[in-house]
Structure 1
């Protein structure tokens, strides 16, 4: 793995840690969940063969610090962080963007707010559950997760969350652990350290987000909605599938499930390259 060039970027209310590899047109990778820039270690070198690949720790996670650690988190502010990185690294040209999970939600907002800065967006399993017909049930899930987190702590809250995301008897965490490559183990401690912030701030702020679907429909020629081929039936799969059908666009299936970029990095990275060039 090639060591990236790292930097610090001051944004509103936070300082972002970012990493850059390669040469060519800019590709911005926006991580999801409790991962940061390191979640792309398995695919960044492959993509850097023909792109300048930028990734970063979302505000409040890993190396990106908040001015106020208690601040509520909003999708629009996270999308503006991504915009600031685009303005820093590709000020004169629109960029390609990939977002995963909560990072894909931020990317969708970036596309609708500043479409002139996004050449093409691949959004992998954005859990924009407010577009679903059973959205009230998912609001109730988020409320249960928060109540459990504050009353019982992190791991009971994660159990409630995993139960709400799953489609069968294995939790999302168990599925992810089944095929993790060795380098993922080195990130486990950092990911665990981010979990309280993720559960307490990101989950309620992002899963209540309502995307501008009319605006997305108008911009759908530069939007690729993607899911894991093993995710069918899971909660994170359903919004992307619904929006792809609504917009009359192909739903692209990537290897693995919700965490396919970690469990199947080579295959995932190759398909992402092809999808960006399509």
Structure 2
């Protein structure tokens, strides 16, 4: 059974879904929402209380100002609001892609609210030696979105991120991006928000390495077994090296939890329980 909640957050309302029973585990993406994470959440709900949500401005999470930007710090504050709404002192957190950046912000700002953070392939471009060039490429991607539309922006994103060439797409077609959400119309709206109001804040987040090194929360950096060559593989390895951590390999690629949910869940359970 899935229970839905609407949680008030700064400047809006967050759609949340809860499944299962056991220790609280938050799954968070950005811009990926609850629908794309639902199959993975169902697997984990056998032994966890699993909370998924639509990040601010995405899917069913509504903002008072739909043109406001989404930043990792704001999304971290949203998760604190969710914990408070559930009367939960802390939770384990699995963050993937932009959601991993959210988790890092949460651990930095509110370390007492996190037991273990598994940060799976955070796109921390500022940690790379060519950060300035990467920043310019993201700016160009956003300009492409405003000038040529979502299909062209996704094509540029896929090439930038290191995924296989998505092939030729027409001006109104969206190549393979994040896993689909509520509906094609909602996916288009979420994609537009991602490029207009989210991608810059997420990729330009510079983690406080000293705070992360000193956090009382356990920190696990996840990489995909099939992600080598992706920008997020390089950023994850850079973060792990900066923190003197050995990255933990997960099945599949950047979205391995959608490709192999059972195998991925087994590795995540190990990451959450290993001391």
Q: Please confirm whether the aligned pair reaches a TM-score higher than 0.5, indicating the same fold.
A: yes
Within the candidate set 235, 239, 244, 1:248 is matched to: 244
State the Cα deviation string for residues 121-176 of structure 1 (Å, max 9, x = none).
000000011111110111011111011111111111111111111166568x9787
> Which residue number corresponds to residue 170 of structure 2?
none
TM-score between both structures, scaled by the size of structure 2: 0.90
- Residue deviations 1:232-257 (CA, integer Å, cap 9, x gap): 12101111111212222121111111
Distance 1:160 1:167 in 2: 10
Q: RMSD of the alignment, in Å? A: 2.1
Count the aligned residue pairs: 267
From 37, 42, 48, give the equivalent of 1:40. 37
**Higher relative helix content:** 1
| CA 186–212 in structure 1, closer or farther in 2 if over 3 Å, else same | closer
- Residues 124 and 6 of structure 1, relative CA distance in 2, 3 Å threshold: same
The yes-or-no answer on 1:274 pairing with 2:270 is yes
248-257 or 6-15: which moved more? 248-257
Against the structure 1 CA distance between its residues 160 and 212, is the aligned structure 2 distance closer, same or farther, given a 3 Å change threshold?
same
1:105-254 matched pairs, under 5 angstroms: 105-166=101-162, 169=165, 187=182, 189=184, 190-219=186-215, 222-254=218-250
Distance 1:103 1:5 in 2: 22
Change (3 A) 1:187 1:72: closer
Distance of 2:113 and 2:22 partners within structure 1: 16
The two structures have a TM-score, normalised by structure 1, of 0.89
Unaligned 5+ runs, structure 2: 168-173
* Contact 1:231/1:237 (<8 A) preserved: yes
| Structure 1: gaps (5+ residues) | 178-183
Aligned-partner Cα distance in 1 for 2:180–2:84: 33
